[in-house]
Amino acid sequence: MDELAILEQAKSYRTVERGTMLAEAGEPLDHLSSVVSGCATMSRSFADGRRQMVGLLLPSDFIGRPGRAVSPYNIEAASEVTLCRFERRTFEQLMDRSPNIAHRMLVMTLDELDAARDWAVVLGRMSAREKVINFIVNLARREAAAHDGTVAEGPVQLHLPLSRETIADYLGLTIETTSRQFSALRRDGLIETPSAREVRIPDFARLALEIDDDDGGVIS
Amino acid sequence: MDELAILEQAKSYRTVERGTMLAEAGEPLDHLSSVVSGCATMSRSFADGRRQMVGLLLPSDFIGRPGRAVSPYNIEAASEVTLCRFERRTFEQLMDRSPNIAHRMLVMTLDELDAARDWAVVLGRMSAREKVINFIVNLARREAAAHDGTVAEGPVQLHLPLSRETIADYLGLTIETTSRQFSALRRDGLIETPSAREVRIPDFARLALEIDDDDGGVIS
DNA sequence: AATCGCCCTTGATCTGCATCAAGGCGACAG
DNA sequence: CTGTCGCCTTGATGCAGATCAAGGGCGATT
């Protein structure tokens, strides 16, 4: 556990405001970090303006990969974000010496891999409505996991850390379609929207039911 | 390098015919393998019949994950497939003893992660035509990589290891749309199809150009 | 060579989402 | 209080891809 003590000592914190680019696709990234609070997005853009998010980075998520200097994606703060950072070299040296940390990285990467593949299922085969429900449900689950454990099966309230445009780029939809789906869910009584960034779910089980009898999806 | 010798000794080969399920989603998978020849698919199915492939498994690809007994996806032989297998326990014990192998697994997993994320970009933002071109181009590149290195910029011929239906489920399209896109590419002179499973690309650079000025995609 | 069965292709039509085009609403500044 | 700016919503219309419905080609079997 000596290594963890060294890591502990080597870390530094940094807080950035919304809109800050934490990494540019194809550019070197000399720090590894983990998200402490806030939300960042990983995305790729096309020359013609199309954009697709490939993942959300929420508290406890890891940014950057050991042994890879270059980020293949744009990473941008979607809200104010606080990071816990390590210099890449320091981290890599530690990993070389500690099978423990290396093993932990492998487990983490395997989890991310599953999440990325589940994401492909959502993008490839779900309707706009299902995508939006999936997004809300997973965000709620993720939030709950950070605190206690499971989502309460009664009413749940949650704050959306992303704008409609960002959600749209995440779900592979347009901003208008995304907005319309939120409105439709409101009409159906599945959600309430005290404000655009706030969602209240009166009956979480009922909402989750719309996607879970088919198949689950994953958010990050 | 002692460990590699042990691995060498522990491996066994197995050949299965087209259609064989190598793993069932949610079921334990007690062997790790790598594809020697042929092609397998990883997919998830919905209760209503929708299906989405999350990856192609081509020669040199790895099946199963160390430390995870259960496969989250269906894995099915899309053609006759030969596997090189290791018992999970044997492999895991080796990994625990050899940081070398563990490190190699991490690198491999990170590559798969990038591929899975690139795949999300294809599914989320590309048109049917772009998806099909992307598929053909990457299959050609993958095939070339297995032999020499780069794809010849002149004419290229390749065999499709997948049926139209499988390609459709891979690309998040219907079989009809997929077929129509192949026909359209033929009309445009970008490909020739001596048979349904055979594609000849008269000018590889011209085909690749249709997607590469936007963004690359990845196949597995 | 004839028959069967499996894919693959093509056509006609329908529909979900994109695109185009106005507003509306809340936050913030003066 | 009022104007402005950024973001969100809603409506009208168009189109890419899904769905429905026939064929057609080709390898396998006899």
Which nucleotide is closest, CA of A186 to its C1'? D9
b (16+ CB within 10 A) / e for A16-25: beeeeebbeb
Chain A, nearest residue to B56 by Cα: A117
The better pLDDT of the pair B154, B48 is held by: B48
The mean pLDDT of A127-138, rounded to a whole number, is: 98
Q: Which of B51, B113, B123 sits opposite A112 (nearest CB)?
A: B113
Could you give the 3-state DSSP secondary structure of residue A42?
strand
Distance of CA B134 to the CA centre of its chain: 13
- Radius of gyration for the alpha carbons in chain A, expressed in angstroms and rounded: 18
Looking at residue A128, the DSSP 8-state letter turns out to be H
Cβ of A150 less than 7 A from strand C: no
Residue B20 CB in 7 A reach of strand C: no
- Kindly compute the dihedral angle of the four CA atoms of residues B193, B195, B196, B199, in this order, to the nearest 10 degrees: -40
Q: Please name the member of A68, A102, A114 whose beta carbon is closest to the beta carbon of B99.
A: A102
Identify whether the C-beta of residue A85 lies closer than 8 Å to the C-beta of residue A14.
yes
**What fold, for B126-212?**
Arc Repressor Mutant, subunit A (1.10.10)
Q: Is the pLDDT of residue A143 over 60?
A: yes
A177 touches strand C (CB under 7 A): yes
Fold of B2-121: Jelly Rolls (2.60.120)
Tokens 């309460």 sit at which residue?
A152
Which position has the higher pLDDT, B213 or B65?
B65
Domain with CATH 2.60.120.10 in chain B: 2-121
* pLDDT value at residue A218: 36
- Give pLDDT tens digits for A79-124: 999 999 999 999 999 888 888 888 999 999 999 999 999 999 999 9
- How near does any CA of chain A get to the CA of B219, in Å? 13
What is the per-residue pLDDT across A157-192, written as a single tens digit (0 to 9) for each?
Answer: 999 999 999 999 999 999 999 999 999 999 999 999
First vs last Cα of chain A: how many Å apart? 29
Nearest to A106 among B109, B119, B213 (CB): B109
d(CA A54, CA A46): 13
Residues A202-219 have pLDDT tens digits of 999 999 999 975 444 333
Residues of chain A with CATH 1.10.10.10: 126-212
Taking the stretch 185-204 of protein chain B, residues with Cβ within 7 Å of any atom in nucleic acid chain D are 195
Q: Do the beta carbons of residue A29 and residue A64 sit within 8 Å?
A: yes
For strand C, is any atom closer than 7 Å to the CB of B214?
no
Q: In Å, what is the separation between the CA of B39 and the C1' of C10? A: 29
Q: Which residues of B touch A47 (CB under 8 A)?
A: 213-215
Residues pairing with A30 in the sheet = none
Residues of B in contact with A177 (CB under 8 A): none
Closest CA to B218 of B148, B146, B119, B74: B119
Nearest by CB to residue B52, choosing from A50, A125, A171, is: A125
Confidence of residue B98 (pLDDT cuts 50, 70, 90): confident
- What's the CA gap between A45 and A73, in Å, rounded? 9
Give the count of beta carbons closer than 10 Å to the beta carbon of residue A8: 8
Instruction: Return the residue in B107, B108, B113 with the most chain A beta carbons within 10 A, the one to mutate for interface testing.
Output: B113
**Rounded distance in angstroms from the CA atom of residue A206 to the C1' atom of nucleotide C28:** 39
pLDDT mean across residues, chain B: 92
Which positions in chain A touch B29 (Cβ < 8 Å)? none
Percent share of chain B, pLDDT over 70 = 95
Interface test with A, best of B57, B101, B125 (most A CBs within 10 A): B125
Choose, out of A113, A177, A211, the residue to mutate when testing the contact with B (most B CBs < 10 Å): A113
The residues that bridge with B52 in the sheet, in sequence order, are B44
The answer to whether B182 CB sits below 7 Å from nucleic acid chain C is yes
Q: Contact at 8 Å (CB) between A21 and A88?
A: no
pLDDT score of B213: 59
Token pair, residue B127, equals 């048109």
The answer for residues whose C-beta is within 8 angstroms of residue A31's C-beta and 6 or more apart is A64, A85, A86, A87, A88
Q: What is the mean pLDDT of residues B161-186?
A: 98
Instruction: Please give the average per-residue pLDDT across A126-135, as a whole number.
Output: 98
B81 contacts B16 by C-beta, under 8 angstroms: yes
- Radius of gyration of chain B measured on its C-alpha atoms: 18
pLDDT given for residue B217 in this prediction: 38
Strand C lies under 7 A from the Cβ of residue A122: no
Q: What is the pLDDT, as a whole number, of residue A75?
A: 97
pLDDT score recorded for residue B216: 40
Strand partners, A200: A157, A192
Instruction: Please state, in angstroms and rounded to a whole number, the distance separating the CA atoms of residues B203 and B192.
Output: 11
Give the pLDDT mean for B194-214.
90
Q: Residue A162 has what DSSP assignment?
A: S
In terms of CA atoms, which chain B residue is nearest residue A110? B109
